[in-house]
Structure 1
Amino acid sequence: MSAVAASLRAGGAARLPAWSGFAAVLAAAGLPIYIHAPKFYVDSYGVGLGALGLVLFGLRLLDVVQDPALGWLAERAGRARGASIWAAVAVMAAAMLGLFAVVPPVAPLAWFALCLAALFSAFSYLTISFYAAGVGKASALPGGHLQLAAWRETGALLGVSLAALAPVVFAALTGRPFAAFALAFAAAALFVAWAMRGEWRGMGNAAAPGALRAILADATLRRLLWVALANATPVAVTSTLFLFYVESRLAAPGWEGPLLLLFFLAAAAAAPGWAWLAQVFGARRVLLAGMVLSILAFLGAATLGPGDVALFALVCLASGAALGADMTLLPALFAGRLARIAPRGGQGFGLWSFVTKFTLALAAVTLLPLLEAAGFRAGVENGETALAALTLLYALVPCALKLLAIGLLLATPLGEEDD
């Protein structure tokens, strides 16, 4: 039996590059689209920023509301799960092509909304199914959830980095860089879907009755969801305000892209190291160290001013490395506990996705109005009061939220999941 188990574990580990690749493609459909798509539709079709902002906020709310339902659906796909994955990949690829490679056949704003709604619905279903399948996958790995998380989250962070960089590279090769990006994305999505064939069995063939009730009744899972909410909110805050901070506080327009890329590459480089440290010292202890590093980084950001690009690059390196811990260890802790309470995982990761996306919607609807009320205006010279408000929201509010996340994590009962 031990030889059979060892063989299964070795086979499971051999497929980990496919998991990394699938995570990269999913990440390329996530946050970078919020960076690229609005500017593309402003530059190409003259759509107003205000209208785009309202559409994005509405789509984020749709995304938040539908995630628990998509988790329920993912668990009930049964024998049709493989077909449902292929269908979702096809929808995601077609929506990306429609967004960037097709001239809108209707009003550009309506086309923007339609394509993004399809893109993010497919993205959400695939993300939930992917993480839920990982609950079963981890049992076939010698390093368990931490080993899987290291491969998965490193792939995701590299995917974000490549998606942020790709249009710049394609601009040197073609007059339609975003169309080229969409074609490359569609091809990559189909390839990784093929590479992941046979990897979806970890979710089982039927949903367990009462799984959602069991998840919400478990004190550890509930606490981890609260930790996820508190811990994801600082990332949502800094993501929302990053471009404004670089342009106005640092007075460094044009540096946004390189600094953002540095941030994500630091996270990708650090993720495997955090996973290794967690196997040696325990996941909670190492995750807490990553949270403290994040606080120190943003305390540093609070002291910067015009021209401090080199110092802010160090902040990006440190905060990016800290993000690697967040993305690797917290989902691994949640998945480890979920494997014991609701092994199929779909509804659990539906809730997880709901919580993390809620922070993006919350940041969008609160931070920008607060910044505007303080007198801040993008693209123009701002007074010290407005810049102080920007610094407070970008650098110090995330520190307070991280302290809250640290307190919640310390109060969360962890057993075997911390090993």
Structure 2
Amino acid sequence: MTSRQRFAYGLLGAPMAMAALPVYIHTPKLYGDELGLGLALTGAILLASRALDTLQDPWLGRLADLMQRQHRGWAVLAGVAASVLVLAYTALFNPPKMLQWQLALWFGVALVLVYTAHSALNITYLAWGANVSHDSHERTRLVAFREGFGLFGVILASLLPMLFSSWFQDVNPWLPYSFVFSLFLLLAIWLLLYRFPLPTKHGLTAQGLFGPLRQSPFRRLATLFLLNGFAVAIAGTLALFYIADVLQLEAYSGLFLATYFISGAVSLPLWLRLSRRLGKSVAWAVGTLVAVVGFVWAVQLGAGDMLPYLLICLLSGAALGADLALPAAIAADIIPQQDRGNTGGYFGIWSLINKGVLALAAGLGLPLLAGFGYQPGGGGGLTALAILYAGVPCLIKLISAGLLMRWRRSLEVQYVF
């Protein structure tokens, strides 16, 4: 496969990330505060729509498998999902003036459409990359391109709303952001549909929505993905609280996050080379240990420790490259030949786990912190915050690394199809 084809596949990762981050971070404040919908009603709509978003993923995976059997079925599904996502995303962030009940309905419908279109496109995208090549290392390169562009999209999503607010002071900043996102997404979809090869068709085998979990290698990988994802989600959920109250460096939050993500993007080629030499499972285990060694020191930092925390961001960010590239590449390898027609179902479960750990981290981490006496901006519970932010994720990652080394042989199976 050529570099241009890898570029044509990977580029879509950027607008996908650009879509996801503002929905999770900015819509609560936009609707709950700025548009006057109220926090209680906004929270209820968010909770219901996110529950639907998570639970529908296995069904969307099955839809992708059904479409794969049709002529250019995945191309059609990706094109339709991208078109719906452009329209729904623009509507979500640029609502007209209306009554509160109308605004609530608008918010709920737009949010469900954004979640559904994004999930359908993402599952199809993951399955496409897993089925397009017979070469295991080529599939890993495709994952690396996808995740590298995804990190670029995260950085754009972090910077552009702030820049548009300063450049267009009399205009809703989400209007130019929606325009840039839409153009970027349509360009990326065009490249995927017309400059990247279609995968080989495979017959759909009869199985339930959670049939992939009957496969022992995938069940083990899903367990590892859940543990590792939960550790990362806990740290991600608590990061801004830790920076603001433990380090007391809230003004530098953007610098810390940018350092972390850029380090992750730069490290991707290293993990690719290491996976070829050691195998993907061992390379992932090495990345997990690097994350622990680099991150555990955050437990003992205090106010003003800017340089030590920057170094921690560099080291743990470098380990992020392994977390991004290798688990999904292993998943693509261990899908048995007879199940290649059900690849969408595998990645539907993958997506469900990914979303579930984010909800679990917020649902457990924040109440637990409150139980230890922590309140944002206050002086109590800071030790508990530091331990939950850095200590607990490192412990979970060590457990994950131990299981990974124990199961590594079953995860290095490479089926030829």
Fold shared, TM-score > 0.5 on shorter chain: yes
Name 2:132's counterpart in structure 1: 137
Partner SS, residue 11 of structure 2: helix
Deviations 1:25-73 (A, max 9, x none): 1122223432233333355224545554444333332222111010001
Which residue number in structure 2 is paired with residue 289 of structure 1?
286
Provide structure 2 residue ranges, at least 5 long, that are not aligned to the other structure: none
In structure 1, the partner of 2:86 is 93
Q: How far apart are 1:101 and its partner, in Å?
A: 2.7
Provide the rounded CA distance (Å) in 2 between the counterparts of 1:173 and 1:33. 22
Unaligned runs of 5+ in 1: 1-8
State the match for 1:395 in structure 2. 390
- Range with bigger deviation, 330-339 or 51-60: 51-60
Letter in 2 for 1:168: M
The verdict on how the C-alpha distance between 1:295 and 1:209 changes in structure 2, with shifts beyond 3 A counting, is: same
- Give the counterpart letter for 1:347 in structure 2: G
1:85-124 to structure 2, matched below 5 A, reads 85-103=78-96, 105-107=98-100, 108-124=103-119
Between the aligned partners of 2:223 and 2:16, the Cα distance in structure 1 is 24
**CA offsets 1:337-372 (integer angstroms, 9 cap, x no match):** 115352231001011111111101111211111122
Q: Distance in 1 between matches of 2:370 and 2:337?
A: 47
| Partner deviation per Cα, 1:81-140 (whole Å, 9 max, x = no partner) | 32221111111111221122333545345433332221121111111101101122232x
2:360 equivalent in structure 1: 362
Distance 1:165 1:26 in 2: 16
Cα 1:125–1:142 change in 2 (3 A) is closer
**Residue pair 1:248, 1:387 contacting (<8 A) in 2 also:** yes
The aligned counterpart of 1:56 is 46
1:349 corresponding residue in structure 2: 347
CA contact (8 A) 1:266 1:317 kept: yes
After superposition, the Cα gap between the structure-2 partners of 1:262 and 1:339, relative to the gap in structure 1 and judged at 3 Å, is farther
Q: In 2, Cα distance between the equivalents of 1:318 and 1:267?
A: 9
Check conservation: 2:224, 2:404, Cα contact below 8 A: yes
SS in 2 for 1:138: coil
Compare 126-135 and 309-318 and name the one that shifted more.
309-318
Equivalent residue for 2:160? Answer: 166
The corresponding residue for 2:201 is 204
Please give the per-residue CA displacement for 1:194-242, whole angstroms capped at 9, x wherever unaligned: 1111547326275333386762222111100111100100111112111
Equivalences for 1:268-279 in 2 at 5 Å? 268-279=265-276
**2:16–2:118: 8 Å Cα contact kept in structure 1?**
yes
Q: Encode CA deviations 1:397-418: one digit per residue, 9 max, x unaligned.
A: 1011111211221222234449
SS of 2:335's equivalent in the other structure is: helix
- 1:256 and 1:50 mapped to 2: Cα distance? 28
Residue 244 of structure 1: CA displacement?
1.0
2:184 pairs with 1:188:
yes
In 1, Cα distance between the equivalents of 2:52 and 2:197? 26
Q: How much has 1:144 moved relative to structure 2? A: 2.2
The residue number in structure 1 matching 2:404 is 409
- Indicate conservation of the 8 Å contact 2:141/2:272, yes or no: yes
1:146 aligns with 140
CA distance in structure 2 between the aligned counterparts of 1:54 and 1:269, rounded to whole angstroms: 39
Per the alignment, residue 20 of structure 1 pairs with: 10
User: CA 1:295–1:142 in structure 2 vs 1: closer, same or farther (change >3 Å)?
Assistant: closer
Match of 1:197, SS state, is: helix
Paired residues in the alignment total: 404
Equivalent AA in structure 2 for residue 360 of structure 1: L
User: Which whole-Å CA distance do the structure 1 matches of 2:221 and 2:269 have between them?
Assistant: 22
- What is the TM-score normalised by the length of structure 1? 0.89
Within the alignment, does 1:178 sit opposite 2:168 as a pair? Answer: no
Tell which deviates more after alignment, 51-60 or 320-329. 51-60
Residue type of the alignment partner of 2:403: L
Give the direction of change, closer, same or farther, for the CA distance of 1:375–1:51 in structure 2 (3 Å limit).
farther
Given the alignment, which residue of 19, 26, 29 partners 2:19? 29
Q: Does 1:232 align with 2:229?
A: yes
Partner of 1:5: none
Q: Is the 8 A contact 1:133 1:203 kept in 2?
A: no
| Mean Cα deviation higher: 41-50 or 400-409 | 41-50
- What is the TM-score normalised by the length of structure 2? 0.90
